[in-house]
Every structure is written in structure tokens, then in C-alpha cells.
Structure 1
Amino acid sequence: MAKVMLIDKDLSQGNMLAEMIKQTHHEVVLVHSVAEAVGIFKREPIDLVVLDIVPEADAALTVAGVRKGVDDVLQRKIPLLVVAKSFSESAFLLERGDVDVLVEVPTHADQLKQMVEQYVGCKVK
């Protein structure tokens, strides 16, 4: 079973996204900060990171922190899927290469399932 880390400061929205991911039969690790995520990277293998940057004032800094934390600890690149308030406002994250997939809110279950399938590499039910 693939393990997906979800980083979301908003507890209610984070729980909603976690439930959507669990429906794809993946294990979910829900954290609420980049620092907490980096601590878990040191202890557990993670196959995909989903980062909700909707409430972030500086999305680029948050994404860079996650990418650096993952790369420094795991010594490998893992897919980073970012949930953003506006695709047009956040598209620069794709251009910088820090983000593999950018999804605009609201994230629908089918859309999220497709992204997890593509980046974790298994068919979900």
C-alpha cells in the first residue's frame, strides 16, 4: 500500500482531503506543518506528498521548504502534488520545477484519485 503525506494547516480541510485519499486505498499521514513533515520523512517512507497551499501567504517559500526537506532527508525526489487556490496565480510553481502537479481548489475525488494513481503508480478502486 502506498503512503501519501498530506500537509495542510487547515484541520477541517485536511481531514476532508485525507478521507478522499483514503478512499483510494492508500495510507495517509496528515501533518499540519513543513517541520512536522520533515520529521516524519526521517522515520517513514513516503510515496507522494500532497501540499495544500491555499492559506499560505508565500506559496513559493512553503513549496521550496517541502521540496528541500524531502530531498535532504530521503535523498531522492518524490512526487509533490500541490492544491492551490488558483491555478493561474500558482502556475509559476510548475515553471520553477518544484511542483509535479498543481490542482486548483476545489479538488474533486475523481481528480485526486487520478493524480494519486499517476504519481504513486498503481490503479486505485
Structure 2
Amino acid sequence: MQKILMIEDDLELAEILTEYLEQFEFEVITEDDPFKAVSILKLEPFDLVILDLTLPGMDGLEVCEAIRERQDIPIIISSARSDVTDKIKALELGADDYLPKPYDPRELEARIHSVLRRYEAKSEEKAESKSDFKCDKSTMTISYKGRNIDLTNAEFGILSYMISKQGLVVSREDLIHNVNAINEDSSNKSIDVMVGRIRNKLGDKSLIESVRGVGYKLLK
């Protein structure tokens, strides 16, 4: 489940958007205090920020700048301010998209997925440039140190997701929700069996580390 921080002082709107986005397996945390929101981002991992510009005590453009100085995280501006100067400034400061209010929640959901896809592709490129793994999703092939690995569709999905998160812990739930070839009713045991097969095919079982009670980590 991907985690979103919504920095928005209109709590009624935030509640409506939260209820809508939760249908798409997003966890949404709302904060109306911009200073506290910036602090939360330093302490907790989030996948995306939805940022209003008109906030108490600190302008949203300042919040955008403060976030971008510290983190490479997707930022979508959600604002009723219609001045094109604000939009240009926000994009110059590092915002990834600008959605003027009012808007249909369906458009926000579509833009969230679009921005997250771009970031995922960018992170995969960075990971692969430093990795012995090469993943080609167009042909569904993965190689390790130049050797192609013979994988089933589910095994390809698991290993390609692990490559995109290389060096990070991946839970079994992450795999179930992010690998299309895995049935949502799959048990932890069936996931473990598939990971075991991938280890054997890689020829080096130490490449995938088990993290007790959580999941797995593909080592760098």
C-alpha cells in the first residue's frame, strides 16, 4: 500500500479525497499544519505529497521548496490559486504536477498514478545502472551478470519488483499488491516457495535475504 501525505487545511475536502483514494489502496495521512508536515516527512517514509498552497503560517510554495531541498519525492500541488505565476513558480521549485481546484477526485487519482509511474521508472533506471541485474519489461526477461534467468511470469514479477527496490525490505504484502501475476489470495507460504525457486535459479541463494516476520531484501 502506497502512503500519501496530504498537506491541506480544508479538512472537509481532505476527508472526501481520503475516502476516495482509499478505494485505490492508498493510505492517506492529512496534516493542516505546514511546519508539522515538513517535520513528519523527515521522520516517516511517504510515496507522494499532495500540497495545498494556501496554508496557515507558511505559504505552500515555501513548503514545496523545503521538501524538495531534502527529498526526491513526488509532489502534486492542489490549489484554488489560479494565478499562472504560482503554477510556474511551483513547477520551478520542483513540483511534479499542478491541479487547480475545484477538480474531480478521479482526475487527482489519475495524476497520482501517472506521477508515481514516472518516479518508479526513474528509480528503476537508477537501481539498474548500479546493479548486476538487468530487467527488460518489454520482453519480460531478467539477466544477472549477463546470464539470462529462466523465470515464470510470477517469478519475473517478484524479481523485477525486488530489483526496483534493491537494498530495501519488501514485504509479502508488497509483492501480492504489486505483482499482477500473483493472486491476491496467495498465502505467505506460496510466496516463500516462489522466492525459493528464484534463489535456486539465480545460483546464489545469498542474493535474496530473508527478513524474519516481514519479507525479503535483494542485496546490492
Which category of TM-score, normalised to the shorter sequence, fits these structures?
0.7 to 0.9
Please list, as runs of the form range in 1=range in 2, the aligned pairs for 1:12-51 lying within 5 A after superposition. Answer: 12-51=12-51
Cα distance, 1:20–1:4 mapped onto 2, change above 3 Å: same
TM-score of the superposed pair, with normalisation by structure 1: 0.76
- What amino acid does structure 2 have at the position aligned with 1:12? E
- What amino acid does structure 1 have at the position aligned with 2:8? D
Q: How many Å separate the matches in 2 of 1:51 and 1:31? A: 10
Counterpart in the other structure of 1:115: 111
CA contact (8 A) 2:49 2:75 kept: yes
Counterpart in the other structure of 2:75: 80
For the pair 1:91 / 2:124, whether they are aligned, the reply is: no
Count matched residues.
Answer: 117
C-alpha displacement of 1:69: 3.8
CA contact (8 A) 1:82 1:103 kept: yes
Identify the match of residue 62 of structure 1 among 55, 60, 63.
60
The structure having more radius of gyration, on CA atoms, is: 2
* TM-align CA RMSD: 2.5
Which structure has more relative contact order (CA 8 Å, sep 6+)? It is 1
Residues 98-117 of structure 1, C-alpha deviations (whole Å, 9 max, x = no match): 32100011221221111111
CA contact (8 A) 1:82 1:102 kept: yes
CA contact (8 A) 2:32 2:55 kept: no
3-state secondary structure, aligned to 1:102: strand
Counterpart in the other structure of 2:123: none
Q: How many Å separate the matches in 2 of 1:79 and 1:67? A: 13
CA contact (8 A) 2:91 2:97 kept: no
Q: How many Å separate the matches in 1 of 2:39 and 2:56? A: 23
What is the aligned-residue identity percentage? 22
Residues 7-38 of structure 1, C-alpha deviations (whole Å, 9 max, x = no match): 11111111112222222211111111211112
C-alpha displacement of 1:95: 4.6
C-alpha displacement of 1:118: 1.3
Q: Deviation above 6 Å: which 4+ runs of structure 1?
A: none
- What amino acid does structure 2 have at the position aligned with 1:84? S
C-alpha displacement of 1:57: 8.5
Counterpart in the other structure of 1:11: 11
Q: What are structure 2's unaligned runs of at least 5 residues?
A: 121-220
